[in-house]
Structure 1
Amino acid sequence: MRVNLRKEQVLMVKEAEKAKFLPHGAIQVLIFFGLFLVSQLATSIFVIIQMLYNGTTEIESTGPFNLFIFGVFSFIFILYVLLIEGRSTKSLGFSKRYAIKDYVIGYLVGIGLFSFIMFILYITNSMNYEGLLGGGTLLLVLFFLGFIIQGMSEEVMLRGYLMNSLGARHNLVIATIINSSIFGVLHLLNPNGSVLSILNIILFGVFASVYALKFSNIWGIGALHSAWNFVQGNVFGLEVSGQQMDASILKFSANGNELLNGGSFGPEGGLITTIVLIIATIIIYNLKLNRAAYITK
């Protein structure tokens, strides 16, 4: 059967409808930014500790430590959902069934999707291969683990919490548009951004929303998000949403038309990524996935 994206066919949204506290969408958006601000303030404590430990007044923004502290965001948002909204972990997309399978598939899809973008950029001479860096093994492992936390944390905030809360109160189209737009807003201050880069971030949000709704959990999209960022920054050695990582296995650099390759923002700011994300979203939306028994439980 083909699972269409209707509320009654998405387990995590059905679970979110059972919330004890489910405010109007406009209030929910304000709550989101309030929680985000609280999370930022909480993580600033860890950043100050890092600065004192390193004996510097500069904030490290591209190392693995910055990725690990995203766990604080997850903790605060999950705490709010459980204690204030009175929702279950299933309503966040953390159902046990299919968890391992969907996570593994999602990670492989993330690797494949970004690698496909790189393949197109390379054969169109929009990306140069500069050689093998090797990186530091320990640092690469820390980045790998850090991106697992960072990728899933963003999905908890945007898809697990915000999209499902909005979807339960309103409809999935509104929920997708709002959470994806906010995802773009959160990247406005990233270095070397452009109108197209923000559009692509929003498109990734739409793709992530459709992916999560289709699979009725966030295991897969959390893994995909993590893999996408790790492969981009620490395998191909490119900027991740405008930020250069400290270690990578390979080194590629943008070549030629920045409209295609994204220039110093990374491929996420290029037209090739726009096209691939649109096609990928259409494919996922039309994916035949038989989970009727799972959804009706």
Structure 2
Amino acid sequence: MNFDEHVVPWRRRNFIICVIVPTILALVLLTCGDILVEIISELFGGLASLTPASPISIGSTIGRIVIVFLCVLLLTKLFRLTLPDLGMVRENRFGTWATGVGFGFAAVTVVYLINVIFGALDVSFTLKASELWVLLLAAVFFAFQGFFEELLFRFFIIPAYAARITVAGAIGLSSILFAFIHLNNPNLTIFGMVNLVLYGVVFGTMYWRTGNAWFVAGWHSGWNFVLSMLYGSHVSGNALPGSVLSSAPNGSELLNGGEFGLEGSVLSTLLGIAIIAWCVKTKPASDTGLFTRRTRPTRDLA
């Protein structure tokens, strides 16, 4: 299923329905999702939290699962969309998601190993045998956390935007919105902010290239999980306990991203640009280009 098919349900809808409403709704759902996660976490009393300050607990993980299913239900009913319209194709769902996780793992590992080789990180082993369960809990948490962000800021709003503007414009607007929701992240730097916008473009272009939500969500979740729970680096400025390794920045912030983490590294910038270039270069010519105006719809949906 290619990306163009995700745009079809939006083509007979006006600018307000395709751009204004999705933008407001994405921000509202994000806020409501965070509130719901907090409520469910309180109901569970922080049961099995990594630490009192950690956002990962049984309650917060259940909350992430619940909010993903509620958002999918709301979006499909409210806008009369199918799961494939949101990129959730039926074929080989887990395999495609796992492939995305693998690519996310490989990508962040490249950035990490270069930092280790150049001495830009002080690495130590920190995981205790009694904390092995933490990795499983965190894996589930990040699987749904990554999917939730991708659902709102890629799978939902990019096709909606693209029905009224070019795909490039849709990806650009969604990327700015994606960076905007991270403005309050701790240790945010100018370079970190640039990379947040850039990786919004990365995931948006990736979705345009593949048309597959499972692959993109898997990449996002794999990147976050490996970066935080295996390598012990900050994720967008946030530090999480219970990781296998601890990787403290040492020396050049240009390489290690400082306290913001490897997502603020120039290496992540170069990697992101390379991914975008690959997606653009390998996109089949028969599909709509990034700067192509929309043609008349092939399916009439109100």
Asked if the contact 2:100–2:216 (Cα under 8 Å) also holds between the matched residues in 1, the reply is: yes
CA contact (8 A) 2:18 2:163 kept: no
Q: Aligned pair in 2 of structure 1 residues 22, 76: CA closer, same or farther (>3 Å)? A: farther
CA distance in 2 between counterparts of 1:145 and 1:191 reads: 24
Query: 1:151 maps to which residue?
Result: 146
Letter in 1 for 2:113: F
The number of equivalent residue pairs is 286
In the alignment, structure 1 residue 181 sits paired with structure 2 residue 169:
no
Is 2:102 the counterpart of 1:108? yes
Which moves more between the two structures, 239-248 or 43-52? 43-52
2:272 matched residue in structure 1: 277
Q: What percent of counterpart residues are identical? A: 23
Q: Do 1:143 and 1:234's aligned partners in 2 also have CA atoms closer than 8 Å?
A: yes
TM-score by length of 2: 0.84
Cα contact 2:209–2:283 (8 A) shared by 1: no
What is the letter of the counterpart of residue 223 of structure 1? G
Contact preservation (8 Å) 2:171, 2:201: yes
Aligned alpha-carbon RMSD (Å) = 3.0
Label 1:221 to 1:206 Cα distance change in 2 as closer, same or farther (>3 A).
Answer: same
Secondary structure of 2:182's partner? coil
Specify the alignment match of 2:63 in structure 1.
69
Alignment of 1:14 onto 2:8: yes
Structure-2 change in CA distance of 1:67 and 1:274 (3 Å): farther
Change (3 A) 1:204 1:64: farther
The yes-or-no answer on 1:229 pairing with 2:219 is no
Q: SS at the partner of 2:17?
A: coil
Amino acid at match of 2:250: N
5+ residue gaps, structure 1: none
- Between 43-52 and 221-230, report the one with greater CA deviation: 43-52
- In structure 2, relative to structure 1, the CA distance for the partners of 1:143 and 1:23 (3 Å cut) is same
Tell me the secondary structure at the aligned position of residue 125 of structure 1.
coil
Checking the alignment, whether the CA contact within 8 Å between 1:134 and 1:248 is kept in structure 2 is no
Q: TM-score, normalised by structure 1?
A: 0.85
Q: 1:120 aligns with which of 101, 114, 121?
A: 114
Task: Give the letter for the 1:156 counterpart.
Answer: L
Among 26, 33, 50, the alignment partner of 1:32 is 26
Q: Find the aligned partners of 2:165 and 2:285 in 1 and give their Cα distance.
A: 25
Cα distance change, pair 182–278 in 1 and its aligned pair in 2 (3 A): same
